[in-house]
């Protein structure tokens, strides 16, 4: 049995008039994450962690934002396409651990929905997904509510 770990990180700026979607779950807030596709920091970091653990590059090389086919696309597509690449190489997902860096809103009420959404996308049981959040003590761009970021670690076995 071979075990592998991958890590992913992503950050997007917050903008008014944009829908906030984290881990595929819409969250009520006066700002949302703007950028490549729908700006879902958790699903982007998850994609990078999956690809990283399998040694298959990263989201930027697989789904470049210069390619119009990925513009405004739902981020779950990146996760689903990465999962298909892993499955073709016989990898199974053991565990996914996520940290969301955000000053506001309080994300704890959404942890379970995000956990279930990620589990559904990856076709694993929710007990194999962990979701948590941290503020930045009002420091830096995240602490000043100008951005949000996420770290995701994935363990694979084969």
List residues near Mg ion by CB under 5 A: 10, 44
- The bridge status of strand 21-22 relative to strand 31-33 is unpaired
Write down the least CB distance from residue 158 to Mg ion, Å: 27
Residue 145 Cβ vs Mg ion, minimum distance, rounded to whole Å: 18
Q: Which residue is nearest to Mg ion (CB)?
A: 44
Residue recorded with tokens 């075990």: 3
With respect to Mg ion, which residue has the nearer C-beta, 38 or 103? 38
58 vs 128, which CB is nearer to Mg ion? Answer: 58
Residue 123, CA distances (Å) to 20, 83, 84, 116, 158 in order:
24, 9, 11, 10, 16
- For Mg ion, give the closer residue by CB, 10 or 103: 10
Residue written as token pair 């996520």: 98
The CB-of-47 to Mg ion minimum distance in angstroms stands at 9
Using the minimum distance from each CB to Mg ion, give the nearer residue, 45 or 54: 45
CA pair distance 62, 33, nearest whole angstrom: 21
In the complex, least distance from residue 23 CB atom to Mg ion, rounded to whole angstroms: 13
DSSP of 9-33: EEEEEEEETS--EETTEE---SEEE
Question: Among all chains, which residue has been given the structure tokens 């670690």?
Answer: 153
């Amino acid at each position: 049995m071979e075990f592998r770990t991958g890590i992913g990180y992503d950050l997007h700026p917050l903008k008014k008039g944009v829908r906030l979607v984290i881990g595929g779950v819409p969250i009520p807030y006066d700002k949302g994450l703007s950028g490549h596709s729908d700006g879902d920091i958790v699903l982007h970091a998850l994609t990078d962690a999956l690809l990283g653990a399998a040694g298959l590059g990263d989201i930027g090389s697989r789904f470049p934002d210069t390619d119009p086919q990925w513009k405004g696309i739902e981020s779950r597509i990146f996760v689903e396409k990465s999962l298909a690449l892993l499955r073709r190489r016989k990898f199974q997902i053991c565990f996914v651990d996520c940290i969301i860096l955000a000053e506001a809103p309080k994300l704890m009420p959404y942890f379970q929905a995000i956990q279930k959404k990620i589990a559904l996308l990856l076709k694993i049981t929710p007990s194999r997904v962990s979701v948590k959040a941290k503020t930045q003590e009002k420091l830096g761009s995240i602490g000043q509510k100008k951005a949000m970021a996420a770290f995701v670690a994935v363990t694979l076995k084969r």
